[in-house]
Structure 1
Amino acid sequence: MFNSDCFFRSRLLWIGAGFSALLLAATVGCNNKNGSAESMPDVVSYNFNIRPILSDKCFACHGPDANKRQAHLRLDIAESAYAPLTETKGAYAIVPGKPEQSELFKRISSQDPTYQMPTPESHLGLLNEHEVALFKKWIKQGAKYERHWAFIAPKKAPVPKVKDEKWPKNELDNFIMAKMEQKGLSPNEEADKERLLKRVSFDLTGLPPSIQMMDDFLNDKSPNAYEKVVDRLMQNTAYGEKMAQHWLDVARYSDSYGYQDDNIRSQWPWRDWVIHAFNENLPYDKFLTWQIAGDMLPDANKEQILATGFFRNHKYTEEGGVIPEEYRIEYILDKTKTYGKGIMGITIECAQCHDHKYDPFSQKDYYELFAFFNNTKEKGYEGDVSTSKPAKNPLMQITQEDRQKLLSFINYKDTNALTVSVMGELDTARKTYILKRGVYDAPSVEVQPTAVAAIMKYDTTKFQRNRLGLAEWTIDRNNPLTARVFVNQMWQEVFGRGLVKTTGDFGMQGELPSHPELLDWLAIDFMEHGWDIKRLMKQMVMSATYRQSTKTTDQKQGIDPENVYLSHGPRNRLTAEFVRDMVLSSSGLLVRTIGGPSVKPYQPKGLWEAASSGRGVLATYQQDHGDALYRRGMYTFIKLTVPPPSMIVFDASNRDQCEVKRLKTNTPLQALIMLNDPTVLEASRVLAQKLEAEPGSATDKINKAFRLIICRKATDAEMKILQSYYDDQLQEFKQKKLDAQKTLNVGEFHKNDRLEQNSLASLMKTISAIYNMEEAITKS
């Protein structure tokens, strides 16, 4: 029998799944680390073999932090490591080619606790035999230091040969399988058609497949059936919406200004452009150039200028009494951080107040980059909430004529003009200074606009000292970061984890790439094929790696608990917006209008008011009605001081700063949202109404609901449980132990009172149970 107790126990299993997985990973991973024998590389790399050990065991005392450095020894730079030791006369930390004369090797291999390094009192732990052997071989081979891997231009390695030549479907698979073979892993079989279709549909459109699409794919026996599905999904306008969702996080898009009164803004036409750009497959180099400097292009049109709204999405103050220059500087700091983290994948903001502690970025480097954005016309303060406009200067007006011609992708039915905040340059260049300790009113040395030399030289004979020059430097084929960072973000979107796990930090404190040759191959291939985003996405989802089933084994978990080496398919929870989209789409409630102003769906009463100053048009929450209640999650109004609660619970970005990677949590609140959110309950009722109005038995209707939500046919065991639950609920309603009218009285979508209410309420509760299956909100 399926009853409420069973259902709630299943919810607890879902909630606890994340903790259990972590516990298993910690236990198995530890056993694997202690028990496995690692192979010795032919050539020992400083970047990939030596530096990680130094960072873990040695840099605490002999690294870049001058305040903690001991014995005047730095092991992160060759000059210091090769130099005579100041506290051990006649000795050298490293003598290239001669490990037996190298103090570093002698100490890490020593068993004498008074001599060995790391010292016992440091609690850093001794190096194991493999690590000691790595150092010995590295020193024998010349102890060659290297520039940080991410600051070296990528090279396209030959596609590796693999033992199982039948498995790979494209070049990506060869790289993945080669690494699997090194680790003693083997790939899974291909996922069944139903689960594969669900996965790729969510990854390319953010929406579940229709039953018609499921049936078509199941019945298509042609060898290219899957490719036809992929092409069909990429032609769907929902593709642009799905792709734009990640970029809205990068661009910290919101519908309010953030500070104090947190008043309304009108940046949504920029969001419409992003969706349009992805659907039109605007090449990534142009996509970036327009957003960085579209206003500075020769004969720039309004679409190119609109794209620069990317840099104007940060918070703005409207509080009287502020110091305008302080906030103007804050706005430029935000632009600089967004460029660094979102586009270049570096933590450049760490150099705002002092030289970067780990990466080769000086404070001077930081303000030279800052200088590119310091010439904007925007002010730190334009007026308080009573006089402010929905867009801040510099702004662009979008007329009805614009929307009928060049900007036809903007969804706005009103004939009035729109205003959007965009970038605009001063006629006379504003001077930029290094700010002591990063303080706005403490200028010191004047600097000129220059990009970070440690990444790639900024040749002023080739690049102008303005944002257009910065854009050209950014997309230059020799820039080592731009393509790598983007393909890594897209890999993360598809597989749940980037090839570089620290998506926003490709610097020295970031994680090393799990598949460095694949990352470089993808980056160069991406540039060689015109920065074609759709082609990149198709490569990933067409790969055998992507198509694998998600099944795993104890052996695979023991070797690779986090599935870094992808020996089984990706299994990740839908992100917050797509949880909403799944519910609305499967129930038939989803309004598929593309773009337009943000909407305000159901929200707990009093939430905004509790965090509001009581001034401005956003002082109270004015819920929308009609079609606006059923728009995709990406169109939900984001007030920075009170982000949408149901989406925040599912780890959505709060959009107050650039984010390139979302957190993943499992909490009881997520279960409570799925059980009690008005949207989920209303969707359950509306889907029940539609099914009840169709001919057929209750079993037929439950089966169809299961397919719509879970995207596969239910097993006999699942149907037995659901049918039993439905029968139990029907008896409860008929016996008046439960109130059908009270159960059905949820949401504003019209109610069909002509249907038999007890069976309708029973079906609604059964559908709600299906929505609360863990599989419902998982790309399986």
Structure 2
Amino acid sequence: MRTIRVPNAPFHIITTLLLLCVTMQAGEPAPIDWTKARQHWSFVPPKPQALPKVKKTTWPRERVDHFILASMEAADLTPTREADARTLIRRATFDLTGLPPTPEEVQAFANDTRAEAYARLVDGLLSRRAFGERMAAMWLNLARYAEDQAHQVGNNSSFAYPNAWRYRDWVIAAFNADLPYDAFVQKQLAVDLIEPQNKADLAALGFLGLGHKLYARGQLDVQAEEWSEQVDTVSQTFLGLTVACARCHDHKFDPITARDYYAMAGVFASMQLVNLRPDGKDEDGKTLADKMDPGTLHIVRDVNPHDLPVYDRGDVKTPGPNVPRGWLQVLSKDEPVKFQQGSGRAELARQITDPRNALTARVMVNRVWDLLFGKPLVRTPSNFGTTGDKPTHPELLDDLALRFMQSGWSVKRLMRELVMSSTYRQGSSGSAANAQLDEANDHLWRMNRRQLGIESWRDAIMATAGTLSREGGSSLNLDAPVHHKRTIYSQVSRRELNKTLMLFDYPDANVHAARRSTSTTPTQKLYVMNSPFILEQSKQLARRIQQTGGDDAARIRHAYALLFARQPEAEELAIAREFLQQPATESGPNAWEQLAQALLATNEMLYVD
């Protein structure tokens, strides 16, 4: 058995990838039965689905509801009644914009009894700039977005990415413009080759251009590490496959050979990462980050297109026969499709987005479902291989994926349908009888209560305190007192992730993150009690509340409307009024500031029903 050594940076990145794979004894692997391999559910193209029959025919609003309700009824479950208007607008506003609704928006929606009120709300949310910021927060984790490298000797920042934010801004704009997802993918991999005259979208190449740069990049073994990381990020993000696990040998579990790996790696070996200045020239050699032109883009370009050999056990000292750059055999009709145009990036992009490829649409639909429902249909969203989970609702996933492609790969249209559904509009409490049959809510008989990510939670705090700035652009240190922009505009480091981001489950920026983990820890509550950010926002929130007209009761009601989109219950109002009667202290926060901080620290502030 081959031993995996866990070294220090910079090679810990690749170690992480290797640990995902299973090493094998030396020897010839068994030949793959490609006909049988292509029968795995994720490799079979999605087929049109007839709507399943349901008993409660008045419940479905969208196609998805028929599939979900049929699953419920087969398990003797009943849907949960629709959430009230205040819960629904808070949920939809957070899900589509990452921000809370204002009290005025909540009241207007609650008072609007017209049949199309909810549809107008959803359409309005999808049209806001905040939508793209919300979607980018998901996408940047998949793209392992960062602005530096895990390794750095002293003050040498020559491998840093001071203008990484230009890629981030491109992603935000692309989602807001509802750029078709197939074009969204193609531009990030090869806009320079597919549309050579398109300079406006060059920043899209940051998907590849913001990758890892290791020291001693002239050495073949170091280059091989970079290729592996690029193969891994591309294959997991777009295809839901762990192709990099075939670097040292044929994949232990999936029909992906070492030849497949080197056919794809050859594409990335035929490009280079460059810092492109606005005048079209490259930044010189190791230009320090603080001296880089502010208009410079971190992108890629083709250089010396060539094929790679299959390196025995991944060792560049033992090359085997060359493998033509090309597509995965299991996703080809017969023999692997070969790439012959430059590096092959454009051909790779087209193969990934080819409607005949069964994976790409399914993978993206599954990610969007996870974003809105808190639990993906395929519980392993970046592993659609044989070791990944099967979909809980396979017919629904196929129906959504096929219609996603047929509707022009529109992300906004997909999200609108899901948010408009009866499934999405359910309350989060449900019934005890249902819970006994399906405690995990696998059949979606209620809405999942979800914890906000660090971006939405921090943004909501500033929004309610009245300090949020809607300015975009370059990144700021998350902990800087002047940083009142949305959290997505914060610096992200591979070398040392910001401690606040880490505390609230922001993923390691060194690797592709399939989805966020969620945790509830004492240190999170200590942060809310003691951090300068929370203390300052509490002061600003208290000031905003006190500026409200009326007595203390009116101000408390306004605070609850701001933070929770509801009115306080009688007991909550009484407790708050009593608390405000405590004697003033000579130092420290006053009663209103303490109350504001206590409200910000509640679970209700951190969760969406």
Normalising by structure 2, we get a TM-score of: 0.88
Q: Distance in 2 between matches of 1:601 and 1:474?
A: 36
Secondary structure in 2 matching 1:398: coil
Matches within 5 A, 1:673-752: 673-727=527-581, 730-731=582-583, 733=584, 736=585, 739-740=586-587, 742-743=588-589
1:432 aligns with 2:308: yes
Equivalent residue for 2:437? 559
Q: Distance in 2 between matches of 1:329 and 1:200?
A: 44
Question: Of the candidates 163, 169, 175, which is equivalent to residue 278 of structure 1?
Answer: 175
By how many angstroms is 1:702 displaced? Answer: 1.7
1:398 aligns with 2:278: yes
Equivalent residue for 1:573? 451
Contact 1:463/1:470 (8 A) holds in 2? no
Contact 2:242/2:383 (8 A) holds in 1? yes
Q: Distance in 1 between matches of 2:418 and 2:34?
A: 39
Secondary structure in 2 matching 1:592: coil
Contact 2:326/2:338 (8 A) holds in 1? no
Which amino acid letter does the alignment assign opposite residue 486 of structure 1?
Answer: M
Equivalent residue for 1:525? 403
Matches within 5 A, 1:254-333: 254-261=146-153, 263=157, 264-265=160-161, 266-317=163-214, 319=215, 324-333=219-228
Q: 1:691 to 1:580 in 2, by over 3 A?
A: same
By how many angstroms is 1:705 displaced? Answer: 1.2
Secondary structure in 2 matching 1:434: strand
By how many angstroms is 1:691 displaced? Answer: 2.2
Secondary structure in 1 matching 2:272: coil
By how many angstroms is 1:348 displaced? Answer: 1.2
Q: Distance in 2 between matches of 1:636 and 1:324?
A: 34
Which amino acid letter does the alignment assign opposite residue 69 of structure 2?
Answer: M
Tell me the alpha carbon deviations over residues 50-103 of structure 1, each in whole angstroms, 9 at most, x when there is no partner: xxxxxxxxxxxxxx99879xxxxx9x9899xxxxxxxxxxxxxxxxxxxxxxxx
1:497 aligns with 2:389: no
Q: Distance in 1 between matches of 2:338 and 2:502?
A: 47
1:483 aligns with 2:361: yes
Equivalent residue for 1:335? 230
1:154 aligns with 2:74: no
Question: Of the candidates 345, 352, 361, which is equivalent to residue 247 of structure 2?
Answer: 352
By how many angstroms is 1:292 displaced? Answer: 1.0
Q: Distance in 1 between matches of 2:208 and 2:217?
A: 22
Larger Rg belongs to:
1
Q: Distance in 2 between matches of 1:78 and 1:305?
A: 38
Which amino acid letter does the alignment assign opposite residue 275 of structure 2?
Answer: L
**Further displaced range: 767-776 or 672-681:** 672-681
Which amino acid letter does the alignment assign opposite residue 425 of structure 1?
Answer: D
Q: 1:416 to 1:655 in 2, by over 3 A?
A: closer
Which amino acid letter does the alignment assign opposite residue 201 of structure 2?
Answer: Q
Which amino acid letter does the alignment assign opposite residue 302 of structure 1?
Answer: K
Q: 1:664 to 1:461 in 2, by over 3 A?
A: closer
Tell me the alpha carbon deviations over residues 19-73 of structure 1, each in whole angstroms, 9 at most, x when there is no partner: xxxxxxxxxxxxxxxxxxxxxxxxxxxxxxxxxxxxxxxxxxxxx99879xxxxx
Q: 1:180 to 1:646 in 2, by over 3 A?
A: same
Q: 1:591 to 1:566 in 2, by over 3 A?
A: same
Tell me the alpha carbon deviations over residues 433-486 of structure 1, each in whole angstroms, 9 at most, x when there is no partner: 112222344322211111111133377489857111111111111101000000
Question: Of the candidates 62, 67, 74, which is equivalent to residue 170 of structure 1?
Answer: 62
Equivalent residue for 2:298? 421
Tell me the alpha carbon deviations over residues 86-140 of structure 1, each in whole angstroms, 9 at most, x when there is no partner: xxxxxxxxxxxxxxxxxxxxxxxxxxxxxxxxxxxxxxxxxxxxxxxxxxxxxxx
Which amino acid letter does the alignment assign opposite residue 539 of structure 1?
Answer: E
1:453 aligns with 2:282: no
Q: 1:777 to 1:434 in 2, by over 3 A?
A: same
Q: Distance in 1 between matches of 2:261 and 2:186?
A: 21
Equivalent residue for 1:130? none
Q: 1:303 to 1:669 in 2, by over 3 A?
A: same
**Further displaced range: 521-530 or 146-155:** 146-155
1:778 aligns with 2:607: yes
Secondary structure in 2 matching 1:424: strand
Q: 1:246 to 1:441 in 2, by over 3 A?
A: farther
Question: Of the candidates 167, 180, 184, which is equivalent to residue 72 of structure 2?
Answer: 180
Identity %: 32
Which amino acid letter does the alignment assign opposite residue 369 of structure 1?
Answer: M
Secondary structure in 1 matching 2:54: coil
* Stretches of structure 2 lacking an aligned partner (at least 5 in a row): 1-21, 281-290
Secondary structure in 2 matching 1:531: coil
Secondary structure in 1 matching 2:329: coil
Which amino acid letter does the alignment assign opposite residue 774 of structure 1?
Answer: N
Which amino acid letter does the alignment assign opposite residue 767 of structure 1?
Answer: A
Q: Distance in 2 between matches of 1:341 and 1:674?
A: 35
Contact 1:345/1:485 (8 A) holds in 2? yes
Q: 1:497 to 1:300 in 2, by over 3 A?
A: farther
Contact 2:38/2:44 (8 A) holds in 1? no
Normalising by structure 1, we get a TM-score of: 0.69
By how many angstroms is 1:326 displaced? Answer: 2.9
Q: Distance in 2 between matches of 1:196 and 1:214?
A: 9
Tell me the alpha carbon deviations over residues 508-529 of structure 1, each in whole angstroms, 9 at most, x when there is no partner: 0001100000000000000000
By how many angstroms is 1:770 displaced? Answer: 0.9
Q: 1:462 to 1:653 in 2, by over 3 A?
A: closer
Contact 1:397/1:419 (8 A) holds in 2? yes
By how many angstroms is 1:329 displaced? Answer: 2.1
Tell me the alpha carbon deviations over residues 574-629 of structure 1, each in whole angstroms, 9 at most, x when there is no partner: 011111111111111110113x1110132xxxxxxxxxxxxxxxxxxxx4x53xx1
Equivalent residue for 2:115? 223
By how many angstroms is 1:323 displaced? Answer: 5.7
Equivalent residue for 1:670? 524
Contact 1:463/1:473 (8 A) holds in 2? no
1:644 aligns with 2:498: yes
Q: Distance in 1 between matches of 2:38 and 2:146?
A: 42
Q: Distance in 2 between matches of 1:446 and 1:308?
A: 28
Contact 1:311/1:335 (8 A) holds in 2? yes
Which amino acid letter does the alignment assign opposite residue 474 of structure 2?
Answer: P
Q: Distance in 1 between matches of 2:464 and 2:105?
A: 13
Question: Of the candidates 177, 200, 203, which is equivalent to residue 92 of structure 2?
Answer: 200
Q: Distance in 2 between matches of 1:691 and 1:78?
A: 66
The structure with higher relative contact order (CA 8 Å, sep 6+) is 2
1:658 aligns with 2:555: no
Q: 1:440 to 1:709 in 2, by over 3 A?
A: farther
* Stretches of structure 1 lacking an aligned partner (at least 5 in a row): 1-63, 69-73, 80-143, 379-393, 401-413, 603-622, 744-760
Which amino acid letter does the alignment assign opposite residue 214 of structure 1?
Answer: V
Detail structure 1 runs of 4+ shifted over 4 Å in the superposition. 64-68, 76-79, 414-417, 458-465
Equivalent residue for 1:85? none
Equivalent residue for 1:361? 256
By how many angstroms is 1:561 displaced? Answer: 2.1
By how many angstroms is 1:563 displaced? Answer: 1.2
Tell me the alpha carbon deviations over residues 738-761 of structure 1, each in whole angstroms, 9 at most, x when there is no partner: x44x33xxxxxxxxxxxxxxxxx2
1:582 aligns with 2:474: no
